[in-house]
Each structure stands twice: as C-alpha cells, then as structure tokens.
Amino acid sequence: MQPDRDLDRELRDLGSRVEYPSTPDLAGSVRSRLDSEAGRPASPVRSGPSLWWLAAAAALVLLVALPVFSLAIRGTGGGMAMGGGAADSGGGGAVDESRTVPLMEEQEDGPSGGASSSAGALAGQAGTSSASSADAATGYPAEDGESEADSAGGATPGYSLGLGERITLREASARSEAPILLPRSPNPGKPDEAYDRVGAPGFILLYRAGSGLPDLRVPGVGNTGIGLVLTETSGDVGRAYLAGGTVRGAGLETADVDGGQGYWIPPGVDRLTVARSLGPSAGVLLWERDGQALRLEAGVSKKEAIRIAESVR
C-alpha cells in the first residue's frame, strides 16, 4: 500500500512544526557522571574537555578511521604474513613474538561498574528478540512485512552491539556472489539474525547462545544472549579482516582448518578494535573456504572453534 500522497506531504510539513522540549545539556551531565563514577569530583565548568572524553573521542576516531590504514600484513597463506608462523602453538598461551601483528595503542576498559546495571537491559532484549521472530522453527525474522510478535518492540542482541543494519537471510544471500555458508555444528540451522556489514562487503550471521555456545559476556554490558557471530565476505582473510586491524599486546596464532591455514585470536588476552566486536570473552578464528573469508567469534576454545569452522559449508 502506498502512503496517501497528500497525507505524506502533510506529515512532512507537520514534522517541521512539532515542538519538542528544549534539549538539555547532556554533554555536561554525562561528563559529570563519568567523572563521578571514576572517583573524581564532578566539574561542571571546565576550561577544556576531560581526559576521559578526550580518550573516548580518540577511541571513536580510531575506530572509525582505522580501515583507511593498512597494517602491512603480507605474506604466506591467506594473504597475511607472520614471520615464522608455520607452527601452531596449539594453545592460547605464550605466543611467539614473531607471529605477533604490529600493534597500536588502545585504551583500557572503561569503568567496570556498568556491568550490573546494564546486564539486565541487554538480557531483556535477548528475551524480547525471541518473541520478535516470525519463523517459529528458526527464530529468523519474517522476510516481508511483520508479524504482530515482531511489532512487540525491543532490539535484538545484534542491534545493541552495533553490528550494522539488520537484514533478512534472503537479502544476505542476494548480497553475496557465493552461497551462504552455515555451520553444521554445534547448532545446525539458520542463523537467528543477519546483518549487513555497513561500510564493508559481506554480511554477519548471529546465533544465540545455547547448544554448546556460551552466552557471551561483554564488559560494561553483561550477558548479550549471543553465542556465535559468523562473518562472511569474499576475498582473503588479510584484506577482509585485518587490513587496518590492530591487536595490542597479543598475538595471532595459526590454526589448521580443514588443511588450510587459519588464524586464531585467543580470548581474554587481546583487544581487537576491528577484528573483534564482542570484547575479550570471545575468541576469533579467521579462515578461508571456497573463496570466502570467514570470521568466527564465540566464547569457545580454539579446538572447538576449529571444529565449528570445519563444519561450515
């Protein structure tokens, strides 16, 4: 149904005349709150921005600007080079410095006090996301239109993590030249959500926690309800996920996936600003299959991650 054109015009006109309450000084109140949470006296009047905000602004600039820089990862295997990277240490412990990706400064975690306050909110969203799915079997959203359940409101976990624009699986398929690859283990079936990689080719598939996939916990947020995030794009791993990516104080281990070379970034140790979206509780496995560069992120061991990766087809 096309919107009534006159009504459409009237609504646009009305929009310019709606009066909202004046916008409060959120910048000041947010700064004061962060200052007080950090144990510093709130200072509503300042001659300049606080270090916290400078750090936040710097982090944001870095996050947005990083893709334009190349990390100069060259060489063996999937277009990435790590000198001496042939042997797999087989664990997430000590990492050979020669296999460590050049690093960039990254700020430490923010205040840790937010976990309890925001965990409930996100957990609630995870709950409502179940209700907002239209496909009872897979939980996948309706391709067209909406169900009444969908209109119940509440964002899904992926939205809250800024994964990008949510799309249907059909749309994801249309955006890919190759068939969509899905893991057959531990939880075979369609993903719960799909997202367009805004600003980058490919798409993201999201599986909720359960069936052997732990609920990923994010600092400052709490449980996300997410068990696994699988990103697919054409090309090689180096260009797809690591050009411009940074890892500080940690290494990239090699990983054998179906006889091909992949890379494992263990959880807990590293911070990836580009290659990781879910924080330090998740490990990341990068590998290639059928001309596709894949990235798996989950709170599982390296061995389990490889097992899941090898089930992808």
Considering only residues 63 through 122, tell me which ones interact with another protein, judged by CB under 8 A. 63-64, 66-67, 106-107, 109-111, 114, 118, 121
Closer Cβ to another protein, 230 or 306, answer by number: 230
Cβ 95 to another protein, closest distance in Å?
21
Alpha-carbon span 313 to 310, nearest angstrom: 8
C-alpha distances in Å from residue 300, one per residue of 173, 206, 282, 307: 27, 15, 7, 10
Closer Cβ to another protein, 32 or 254, answer by number: 32
Closer Cβ to another protein, 30 or 51, answer by number: 30
- Residue count (the chain): 313
199 binds another protein (CB under 8 A): yes
Query: 120: helix, coil or strand?
Result: helix
**The only residue of 80, 182, 213, 221 in contact with another protein, by rule CB under 8 A:** 221
> Per the structure block, which two tokens stand in for 199?
């600003």
**The only residue of 38, 42, 51, 57 in contact with another protein, by rule CB under 8 A:** 57
Q: DSSP alpha helices (H): ranges in 132-203?
A: 157-160, 169-174
Cβ 83 to another protein, closest distance in Å?
26
Cβ 257 to another protein, closest distance in Å?
23
Closer Cβ to another protein, 44 or 111, answer by number: 111
Residue 123: half-sphere exposure toward Cβ, Cα within 13 Å: 10
Closer Cβ to another protein, 2 or 97, answer by number: 2
C-beta of residue 206 within 8 angstroms of C-beta of residue 259: no
Closer Cβ to another protein, 274 or 312, answer by number: 274
Q: What type of residue is 236? A: D
Q: What type of residue is 198? A: V
Cβ 30 to another protein, closest distance in Å?
5
Which listed range, 56-64, 95-103, 261-269, 289-297, lies at the site for another protein (CB under 8 A)? 56-64
Phi, psi of 172 (to 5 degrees): -60, -40
Alpha-carbon span 26 to 224, nearest angstrom: 27
* Binding letters toward another protein, positions 119-158, x by CB under 8 A: --x--xx--xx--x--------xx-xxx---xx-xxxx--
Residue 197: half-sphere exposure toward Cβ, Cα within 13 Å: 21
Footprint of another protein on 157-196 (CB under 8 A)? 159-168, 171
C-beta of residue 255 within 8 angstroms of C-beta of residue 306: yes
Footprint of another protein on 232-251 (CB under 8 A)? 244
